[in-house]
Structure 1
Amino acid sequence: MNVTIEGLSLSYGGVSAVQDLDLAIGDGESIVLLGQSGCGKTSTMRCVAGLETPSAGRIAIGDRAVFDGDSGKSVPSHKRNVGMVFQSYAVWPHKTVIENVAFPLRMKGQNRTLSRAKAFNVLELVGLAHLAHRGASQLSGGQMQRVALARSIAMEPSVLLLDEPLSNLDARLRDDLRVELRRIQLERGLTSLYVTHDQQEALALADRIAIMQSGRIQQLGTPQEIYRAPATASIATFLGVTNVFPVERGGDLGLRLEGHSVALRSSHPVPDGPISVAVRPEAVTVHDAERADELTSRANRLAGKVRVAVYQGSSVRYQVSIDGGPDLDVVSLDPVVLAPDTPVVVEVPEAAVSVLPDDTPAPATDAAAPAAGDTGAAA
């Protein structure tokens, strides 16, 4: 079922957590709210759930308004038909797995036989049918999180809300459950709103990603769009682009890096205002300086020296100190590992040099509004 959020605002004691936010989620679409702690992503989700009362705006699930600031309408959380999966597992340890999953169905008035049958079907979906009669206290953390997910799906919610449900799990299990979550969302056609600060999680689980900063959505797009073309330098840095450098305007040899004597050429247009260049490490190629005469490409070429080389199995990560310039991170697929202090030449394709405004300016009407702090549910 589609979800529409219009002009949503929320404040805590005079501190603005969400500011005039608009977002439309299509039927069966997975939207991920991605941002640092305190940006307002969890507060936005809690408003949709009915766990927070917005200061203004409108929220509709399907054709039904569940909150309208103008009319004062606010449908209680338990009447919105939303399923929630939290960071904490929130399972009842004294109940069996199937009793945990069937519990919300029993609360809806379904008889015991039907509720247990539905619960068992959902447990098969999440791969826990073989543990249906085991006590929940005997489960691992990953299994408990699957139980929490199954309990929410069994309710057949109009929208599934997930608040960093994988953050308490170890790295390997997080990777496995991302795949399972995405599979279930696609198979069931679940409309979902997912909150995280982990960019890899967002890329894996989203049809579209909404980047949030200071209570606003600063960029909205597909995972490919967000990854390849961050809207600002601050977003690029948050997304893990390590090569982000401020640029001095007025240079005649390309985009001169602030505080350095080197410049980079770019095939991208240059925006107005303060700007930076961003280059993903995997877009950079590193060569032993002895082979420099063999290079024929028209990419930016910078001489330097290897500071650090870290072998990562399928790749090698370098930190290269550029002559007259900054340190540059490089991820190379070449199996040959260059030793520290090796003179090198790095190539940076012009198309890989993104030119970005440093930040998206806030609307003038809200210039004095305080940024969302890491208070209460604002996360």
Structure 2
Amino acid sequence: WHQTPASGAIAAKESEWKIVISADRHIAGDVTFDLANRGTIPHEFLVVATDKTAEELLADVDATTNRIDEENLDVVDEQPEYGAGTTAELTLTLPVGHYVVMCNIEGHYKNGMYADLNITERPDGVVVERTPPPAPVPAVGAISGTETEWAIEISTDLHEAGLTTFNLTNAGSMPHEFLVVRSEKTAEELLADVDAATSRIDEELLDVLDEQPEYSPGTPGQVTVNLTPGHYVVMCNIAGHYQQGMYADLEITEPVAATGNIAGTEAEWKIELDSYTHVAGEMTFNLTNGGTIPHEFLVVRSSKTASQLLADVDAATARIDEEMLNVIDEQPEYAPGVPGLLTITLKPGHYVVMCNIAGHYQQGMYADFTVVK
């Protein structure tokens, strides 16, 4: 224990399974955490204002998720997951009070990744206001969805507008469906519309944009839909399922069109970009093969969505005949761990970026990409 409160940066080292901080007392004001992941797996670093000690919070770890529900935590700010062997810096303003710093990735907190931090009064008596909560950042790219009895969990409840793919898993023990509904009502408000006779909502009353029809347990599902700004509810409307809790709210915001370089990562079996909407003109894709085998990166102008192009995969070759594609340009096959670079000029329209090596596209190595004026 440090008897004299620190006033400089706090060094924080994370590893399996502990967080070690260089000071457990600090004067109120701006506090910088110099973070180092000394472990072998990714970690995160949350600063939580709480009256409970770090050990008392162990009782709040959910037995099902092996983490603390962050809806129940007063998170001041955080460093999202960062890789093993990497460093990060987090600066925030902390008033007098008790805090717990933690890693809340599944299983990490209960294994010991936490530390108490006390913030004390300033010698000059200045009263400090805490860092305002960070504005939520809309997600981009595909949304993962899992359906079980009786819940729907989606990877984000805030997403940019545009062509959006839901990659679905039925992790339950019976068939489910997945409807994307535009609605001014919240998911809970729609409970009042469940018909007592049919135990479902009359879909004539719903603005259903698209759906994944009933699909069996253990099987994947997928639906791609063009979402404009507004409020949506995703749901399973099989008799009895909605009223049991199979719904989730989703907010869609205006897209932010990128103007600079685009970072892209390819791995088995996905392509992820840091932006899926870009202003027309010259742009550069800075690519990383984060997989274990070679990949390629094609930019294809297409009136079809990436999901619709799955129907064009040839069963014999397990790839799409590129004679049928309007390939603008490509990064040829490049090895794992090797960077790729593709500079290209694109007009407004819809594109699909893909890896078309045999078997790769049908496994999920594609993404929709929109170019605007």
TM over 0.5: no
Of Structure 1 and Structure 2, the greater strand share is in 2
Taking structure 1 as the reference length, what is the TM-score of the superposition? 0.25
Larger relative contact order, structure 1 or 2 (CA cutoff 8 Å, min sep 6): 1
